[in-house]
Structure 1
Amino acid sequence: MDGGDKAGRSSGRQTVLIVEDEEDLVIMLTYNLEREGYTVQSVADGDEAVVAAGEHNPAIIILDWMLPHKSGLDICRQLRRGAKTRDIPVIMLTARGEEADRIRGLDSGADDYISKPFSIVELMARIRAVLRRTGPSSNEDSLEFGDTRMDLVAHRVTRAGRDIHLGPTEFRLLRHFMQYPGRVFSREQLLDVVWGHDVYVEPRTVDVHIRRLRKAINDGDLPDIIRTVRSAGYALDRPKQIDDSDEQGS
């Protein structure tokens, strides 16, 4: 791990990368983040954002949707494809408040979404909630379920011997499921575990991330190990235990 990695993801001052072209907003965010003890880097366009994320390996990225030359959605997708950047949590800022836009933001790979104008107190709470869950459990180095294995130290997932690439939120969801295989968790329970009690996230957000987790973990026509239980929630089950009458979509 190089110096940039240590600066961004260590237990000391964590680096927040702001990708925003509104200078006044950058100044306000920088002031408040530095008051909270973070180191702040900022860039104003998408190409700079991808380079900065790779160089500094920030603990989290605050990404505006509307940017010159390249949208926040495109930047988020590009970050998720990069070997050095795919695991960095992203909170997207946008003036778009419609549910369809929130879903698009989450589908692009964002871990959270906050609409402008927003409360700085709420944003700080969301940042803390994400960062609390970016590190692996101190009590376990790995988890296994059937042909699926999670290396919590290397932050690596394999299934049937193949690497599975997950975003930070999907990684946390799968880790929770693998800690309690067969147990059904409601959307509200998953929200509390993955997003935290102090952050408001709509229950449908869980469905978006479950759909993304399913797509990744079942890639290559592997049997579906995520079971949807009508009116109850989701569980991790061996394929033979999954009832075809259960909903498989989200």
Structure 2
Amino acid sequence: MKYLLPALRVELLKVRKSKVVWITTGAFTLAPLIAGFFMFVLRYPAFAERSGLLGAQAQIVGEASWPAYLNLLAQMIAVGGILIFGFVSSWLFGREYADGTIKDLLALPYPRAVMVAAKFIAAGLTCLLISLYIITLGLLLGWFVGLPQGSLDVFLQGLGVLLLVTVLVILLSTPVAFIACYSRGYLAPLGFVIIVLVFAQIIAAAGFGAYFPWAIPALYSGIVASSMALDWLGLMLIFITSIIGVGSTLAWWLMADQH
């Protein structure tokens, strides 16, 4: 703790002063705005058509209710979170190479494992705060639209799914850190994130999404008609993927030749 807290404070200061993270958060704001718009159109289709928000021939399938809305938010976090949280991890680890500050970090009298842990904790906290912001904004928009079928049980169940999906996606962002360190930059980890998103869609469509870690949060959130229950196999796959990401990143910092 003697070294971890100062290192974590520095990483969180980098996040707070970074325009990249704030711009990324702003881009993710589109998720609850789009979800709220869909619910508004479903709730008041005649008004949306008269005001020009929806064309006469346009149709949006679904129902305007709190369960459906919370389910939609969970799906957006499950899919969009892989991209957004992966971007945060790639920035926190890749920026040191892109900005040429990696040599300054390695010259500090701090254990390298502490610096890696501080970066992972900062990435996790940042992603969690972004998700809480998205959930809070989504709840406010749902209240503004006046969605029906709201009850304590519905909110507790929906928020539980949202938080669990958030944690799962955060765990799946750890391999991105290793790709950022190995490639010494941003582009390769972002390409990795896009590739796993594409493969998640393809593998889930083929019926094998339960065996591909990056497809599990989306399936659990109900992105398909028959939502998958989160079993021990899915949790184990995600946990192993996260451990591999953390372990490989730590090994890279400890043993790789740093120039």
Specify if TM > 0.5: no
Say which structure, 1 or 2, has more relative contact order (CA 8 Å, 6+ apart): 2
Q: Compute the TM-score of the two structures, normalised by the length of structure 2.
A: 0.27
Higher helix share: 2
Q: Which is strand-richer, 1 or 2?
A: 1
TM-score (norm 1): 0.28
